[in-house]
Protein backbone atom coordinates (compact mmCIF):
# COMPACT_ATOMS: atom_id res chain seq x y z
CA UNK A 1 0.00 0.00 0.00
CA UNK A 2 1.40 3.39 -1.02
CA UNK A 3 1.60 6.38 1.34
CA UNK A 4 1.31 8.77 -1.62
CA UNK A 5 -2.27 10.10 -1.92
CA UNK A 6 -4.32 9.36 -5.02
CA UNK A 7 -5.29 12.93 -5.88
CA UNK A 8 -4.05 16.50 -5.33
CA UNK A 9 -7.05 17.50 -3.17
CA UNK A 10 -6.66 14.73 -0.58
CA UNK A 11 -6.52 16.24 2.93
CA UNK A 12 -3.80 15.01 5.29
CA UNK A 13 -2.86 15.78 8.89
CA UNK A 14 0.75 16.51 9.88
CA UNK A 15 1.72 12.86 10.41
CA UNK A 16 0.09 11.68 7.20
CA UNK A 17 1.55 14.61 5.24
CA UNK A 18 5.06 13.98 6.54
CA UNK A 19 4.77 10.28 5.74
CA UNK A 20 3.51 11.02 2.20
CA UNK A 21 6.31 13.55 1.55
CA UNK A 22 8.92 11.11 2.87
CA UNK A 23 7.53 8.34 0.66
CA UNK A 24 7.67 10.73 -2.32
CA UNK A 25 11.38 11.35 -1.64
CA UNK A 26 11.19 14.54 0.45
CA UNK A 27 12.18 13.32 3.92
CA UNK A 28 10.09 15.40 6.32
CA UNK A 29 9.09 14.94 9.94
CA UNK A 30 5.64 15.80 11.28
CA UNK A 31 7.39 18.00 13.86
CA UNK A 32 8.93 20.02 11.01
CA UNK A 33 5.50 20.76 9.55
CA UNK A 34 4.16 21.69 13.00
CA UNK A 35 7.12 23.97 13.76
CA UNK A 36 6.97 25.72 10.39
CA UNK A 37 3.23 26.17 10.80
CA UNK A 38 3.94 28.30 13.90
CA UNK A 39 7.13 30.03 12.74
CA UNK A 40 6.25 30.45 9.08
CA UNK A 41 7.84 29.12 5.94
CA UNK A 42 5.85 25.92 5.81
CA UNK A 43 3.23 24.67 3.38
CA UNK A 44 -0.26 26.18 3.13
CA UNK A 45 -2.63 24.59 5.62
CA UNK A 46 -6.34 24.71 6.42
CA UNK A 47 -8.43 24.28 9.53
CA UNK A 48 -11.19 21.73 9.64
CA UNK A 49 -12.78 22.55 12.97
CA UNK A 50 -9.91 22.25 15.44
CA UNK A 51 -7.93 19.97 13.12
CA UNK A 52 -5.11 21.19 10.89
CA UNK A 53 -5.08 19.66 7.41
CA UNK A 54 -2.89 20.03 4.34
CA UNK A 55 -3.86 19.46 0.71
CA UNK A 56 -1.47 16.97 -0.89
CA UNK A 57 -0.85 19.38 -3.81
CA UNK A 58 0.18 22.15 -1.35
CA UNK A 59 2.57 19.83 0.49
CA UNK A 60 4.19 18.64 -2.72
CA UNK A 61 4.45 22.17 -4.12
CA UNK A 62 6.10 23.40 -0.89
CA UNK A 63 8.59 20.51 -0.91
CA UNK A 64 9.52 21.17 -4.55
CA UNK A 65 10.20 24.87 -3.82
CA UNK A 66 12.79 23.81 -1.25
CA UNK A 67 14.88 22.07 -3.93
CA UNK A 68 17.92 23.94 -5.18
CA UNK A 69 18.66 24.53 -8.83
CA UNK A 70 20.34 21.54 -10.52
CA UNK A 71 24.05 21.27 -9.59
CA UNK A 72 26.88 19.13 -10.91
CA UNK A 73 29.08 19.51 -7.82
CA UNK A 74 29.16 21.17 -4.40
CA UNK A 75 31.65 23.69 -5.76
CA UNK A 76 28.97 24.84 -8.21
CA UNK A 77 26.87 25.90 -5.19
CA UNK A 78 29.88 27.78 -3.76
CA UNK A 79 30.45 29.57 -7.08
CA UNK A 80 26.78 30.53 -7.22
CA UNK A 81 26.99 32.01 -3.71
CA UNK A 82 30.17 33.94 -4.52
CA UNK A 83 28.71 35.27 -7.78
CA UNK A 84 25.57 36.48 -6.02
CA UNK A 85 27.51 37.74 -2.96
CA UNK A 86 25.61 35.48 -0.55
CA UNK A 87 27.35 33.65 2.26
CA UNK A 88 27.15 29.86 2.01
CA UNK A 89 24.52 28.48 4.35
CA UNK A 90 21.59 26.06 4.16
CA UNK A 91 18.46 27.39 2.51
CA UNK A 92 15.58 28.12 4.87
CA UNK A 93 12.29 28.80 3.18
CA UNK A 94 10.61 32.05 4.09
CA UNK A 95 13.68 33.83 5.43
CA UNK A 96 15.54 36.55 3.57
CA UNK A 97 19.28 37.24 3.94
CA UNK A 98 20.20 40.22 6.12
CA UNK A 99 20.48 43.55 4.34
CA UNK A 100 22.73 46.48 5.28
CA UNK A 101 19.63 48.32 6.47
CA UNK A 102 18.73 45.51 8.90
CA UNK A 103 22.26 45.66 10.33
CA UNK A 104 21.82 49.38 10.89
CA UNK A 105 18.60 48.68 12.79
CA UNK A 106 20.44 46.27 15.05
CA UNK A 107 23.02 48.97 15.76
CA UNK A 108 20.22 51.40 16.66
CA UNK A 109 18.84 48.82 19.06
CA UNK A 110 22.27 48.35 20.64
CA UNK A 111 22.66 52.13 21.09
CA UNK A 112 19.19 52.38 22.62
CA UNK A 113 19.94 49.57 25.06
CA UNK A 114 23.36 50.91 26.02
CA UNK A 115 21.96 54.42 26.63
CA UNK A 116 19.14 52.97 28.72
CA UNK A 117 21.56 51.00 30.85
CA UNK A 118 23.99 53.91 31.22
CA UNK A 119 21.11 56.14 32.43
CA UNK A 120 20.11 53.61 35.07
CA UNK A 121 23.72 53.34 36.28
CA UNK A 122 23.83 57.12 36.97
CA UNK A 123 20.91 57.05 39.40
Using DSSP's 3-state secondary structure scheme, residue 46 falls into strand
Q: Are 33 and 43 in contact (CB under 8 A)?
A: yes
Q: Tell me the H-state helices in the chain.
A: 14-23, 30-39, 56-65, 74-83, 100-122
CA distances from 56 to 8, 13, 16 (A): 5, 10, 10
The tens digit of pLDDT for each residue in 19-74 reads: 999 999 999 999 999 999 999 999 999 999 999 999 999 999 999 999 888 888 87
Between CA 55 and CA 7 the distance in angstroms is 9
Using DSSP's 3-state secondary structure scheme, residue 25 falls into coil
> How does the average pLDDT of the chain come out, rounded?
77
Q: Are 23 and 8 in contact (CB under 8 A)?
A: no
Per-residue model confidence (pLDDT) at position 109: 43
Between 28 and 81, residue with greater pLDDT: 28
Question: What's the pTM?
Answer: 0.60
Amino acid sequence: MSNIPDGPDVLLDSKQGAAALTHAGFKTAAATLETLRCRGGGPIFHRYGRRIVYRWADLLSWAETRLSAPLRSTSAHDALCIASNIERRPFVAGFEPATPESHRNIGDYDRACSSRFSESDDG
